[in-house]
Amino acid sequence: MSDAPMSAKTAAETTAPAETTMPAETTAPAETKKASWLHNAVGYEVYIRSFADSTGNGIGDLTGITQRLEYLAWLGIDIVWITPCYPSPMADHGYDVADYVDIEPIFGDLQAMQALIDRAHELGLRVVLDIVPNHSSNQHRWFRSAVEDPTGPHRDYYLWRDPAPDGGPPNNWVAHFGGPAWTLDEASGQYYCHLFLPEQPDLNWRNPALRAEFEQTLEFWFERGIDGFRIDVAHALIKDSEFRDNPQTADPAGITHPRDQFRCFEHRYDLEQPESLEIFREWRRIAERYDSALIGETYVLEPAGLANLVPGDGLHLGFWFAPMQMPWTAPDITKTLRETSARLGDRVGWVQSSHDESRPATRFGGGDLGRNRSLAFAAMLFGLPGVPFIYQGEELGLEDGVVPPELRSDPIATRNPGAVGRDVCRTPMPWGPGRNLGFSSADQTWLPLGHGVEDSVEWQRQNPDAHVHKMRSLLRFRRELRDLDPEVTWLEAPEGVVAFQRGDHLFALNTHDEATDFAPGGMWSVVHRTGTGSAARSVPSIHIEGTETVAARRVG
């Protein structure tokens, strides 16, 4: 696709659309059976540590989630994705798993998980668990056995290599969280691979026994009623069999932030190896027996790369992360959405925020401007085929919280001097007035609150003009769009406007602060606005306020 800006024609000049329908991907294999409940659904990410604390220890838990499920049903959510809640030493707050078939005691137990699943299903909600197959904790029994007995069967569950000729790491791979992706086991003299922390050794997915272990894990949770899995680091399970050096694109010397270090290399051999698809095809055969879904954390920023990871017969959805890196301009928004939608159709998991990135209200300018931009962008995602996910607090328009350096908890910040880390987007959910804004009765929460009472769910629910009602209205509108034509046609529009059409519905986002008019040809009635513009019935020109998305239906 072209990166050129949208046409600069004025609304008066634009009397008919110059329509461009991107061709669907034709090389992908035919899709197999898909979980029917994914169609037109909207997901909600619960970062368990920060959602709701039922025990008074300052950390969110499973029962806390259960107690708040009615709020998510009221909001209009279909899918509740819960971040890892397995036993863990918490080197990376649960993404270092020590047991894949149990519950971390600070979060509850298997009974509490069953109660959550049952209550969610009563409310018509689906429950998706995070699973972390790229790596385990170094406290997992498999890794302890691998270290204690280098000749035993668990040694090959992980990636071990002899040192380079100079005694250093086997290759030049670097970790996401800083430093080399290799740590020396002095007892055996070999290095083990870890694309994240040394406490998170990478698993060897070329080992059939390991694959069998994880298939049993899927069965364990599916039998208990889990509706699907969000698969952490789905783009990196298999590594190059020869462990070749990655091409270096910049000099990492003197660079301190781990993300910038990581960008100094082309990740040709440690990420996106095609053999990973066979794993997900096997998993899909299991998931289909339970009408369950597989959703990949597919952290690639090129549409072709995402399409390769989600060809249609493995993962049901792949998260598209480019919106989290996107500047607020019409050309950038078009570039971010257009090709990905064309290549993947309804196989996209649309996200503009998560527990790993600055919140969109902050990224998009802060205050009411940032909130309005985030809502308008959400409306565009809701109009496209695929499944959008909201990160907890996004529906409240939350901005990043303030976390002083001495209270930071994210290993990116605590292990890399000067790095801010991800704590600012993980501060506890504000529920209402009172102690800790209703999140916890503890004297101290695991992270500071970071928000005020006017940000809270209770305050916003009582204020009809608050952000939560705007998001709820959008969710309600989304439910009305279940039978839209799957084909997306992108339209020529006034400068600063991004617009597409699906059947008889049109969606147009005005990225500018000033209002504009858009005449797409034909007669239209406005059916939804994210801003304060007035209704319009059977008009040839649609008025779009600044920082607003308008949805309209063709008349006649």
Residue 237 and residue 134 in contact, taking contact as beta carbons nearer than 8 Å: yes
CA distance 270 to 299: 13
223 is catalytic: no
Instruction: Output the DSSP codes for 483-531.
Output: T--S--EE---STTEEEEEETTEEEEEE-SSS-EEE--SS-EEEEEESS
CA distance 497 to 517: 10
Backbone angles phi, psi at 317, to 5 degrees: -140, 150
313 is catalytic: no
Crossing angle of the two packed helices 208-223 and 276-288, in degrees rounded to 10: 30
Q: Which two tokens stand for residue 439?
A: 């999140």
**543 strand-pairing partners:** 517
Residue 57 and residue 398 in contact, taking contact as beta carbons nearer than 8 Å: no
Q: For residue 67, give Cα distances in angstroms to 73, 74, 113, 156.
A: 12, 13, 12, 42
Q: Which two tokens stand for residue 89?
A: 């030493």
CA distance 425 to 412: 13
What's the start-to-end Cα distance of the chain, in Å?
33
Q: Which two tokens stand for residue 314?
A: 């493995």
Distance of CA 509 to the CA centre of its chain: 22
CA distance 74 to 83: 22
Using the Cα atoms of residue 20, residue 26, residue 28 and residue 29 in order, give the sign of their dihedral: positive
**131 strand-pairing partners:** 231
Three-class SS state of 113? helix
Exactly one of 297, 357, 423, 548 is catalytic; name it: 297
Exactly one of 232, 399, 423, 545 is catalytic; name it: 232
426: left (phi over 0), alpha (psi -120 to 50) or beta: alpha
Q: Which two tokens stand for residue 276?
A: 């990973």
Q: Which two tokens stand for residue 320?
A: 């598209």
Residue 463: count of CB within 10 angstroms of its CB: 12
CA angle centred on 1, ends 350 and 294, rounded to 5°: 30
Q: Which two tokens stand for residue 58?
A: 């300052």
Q: Which two tokens stand for residue 302?
A: 């090129």
**Exposed (0-12), middle (13-18) or buried (19+): which is 81, by Cβ within 10 Å?**
buried
Three-class SS state of 341? helix
Q: Tell me the one-letter amino acid at 521.
A: G
Catalytic positions are 232, 297
